[in-house]
Amino acid sequence: RFPTLIALSTIFMGTLVSQAYSSVLATLAVVAIIMTGIATTLLVSSLLSRTLFRGMPSFFVLELPPFRRPQLGQILIRSLLDRTLFVLWRAVVIAAPAGALTWILANSFVGGTSVFALIVGWLNPLGQLMGMDGIILIAFLLGLPANEIVLPILIMGYISAGSMLELDSLNALRILLLDHGWTWITALCVMLFSLLHFPCGTTLYTIFKETRSARWTLLSALLPLLLGIVVTLLINQGAQIIMR
pTM, whole model, 2 decimals? 0.81
- Predicted confidence at residue 128, as pLDDT, reads 94
Q: What angle do CA 43, 46, 47 make, to 5 degrees?
A: 85
Helix (H, G, I), strand (E, B) or coil at 114: strand
Round to whole Å and give the CA distance between 207 and 209.
5
Calpha distance 202→158 (Å, rounded) = 27
Domain boundaries, the chain: 2-42+84-243
Of the candidates 148, 151, 196, which has an alpha carbon nearest to the alpha carbon of residue 177? 151
Average pLDDT over residues 109-114: 87
Of 38-42, 58-62, 154-158, where does the model show the most confidence?
38-42
Q: Give percent above pLDDT 70 in the chain.
A: 92
pLDDT number for residue 132: 94
Q: How many CA atoms lie within 13 A of 82 on its CB side?
A: 6
Radius of gyration for the alpha carbons in the chain, expressed in angstroms and rounded: 21
Average pLDDT over residues 131-144: 92
Q: Which of 31-40, 198-207, 222-231 has the lowest mean pLDDT?
A: 198-207
What pLDDT is stored for residue 18 in this prediction? 80
Per-residue pLDDT, averaged over 20-36, amounts to: 89
CB atoms within 10 A of CB 214: 9
Mean pLDDT value across residues 18-44: 88
pLDDT in tens, 215-240: 989 999 999 999 999 999 999 999 88
Q: DSSP for 121-133, please give it.
A: HHHHHHHHHTTS-
Give the whole-angstrom CA distance, residue 4 versus residue 190: 9
Model confidence at 131, pLDDT cuts 50, 70, 90, reads very high
pLDDT at 163 > cutoff 60: no
From residue 94, how far is each of 84, 91, 238 by CA, in Å?
Answer: 16, 5, 37
Mean pLDDT of the chain: 84
CA-based nearest residue to 12, from 239, 171, 132, 154: 171
Q: What is the pLDDT of residues 54-108, one digit of tens each?
A: 777 767 777 887 887 877 777 777 777 766 776 677 667 766 777 788 888 888 8
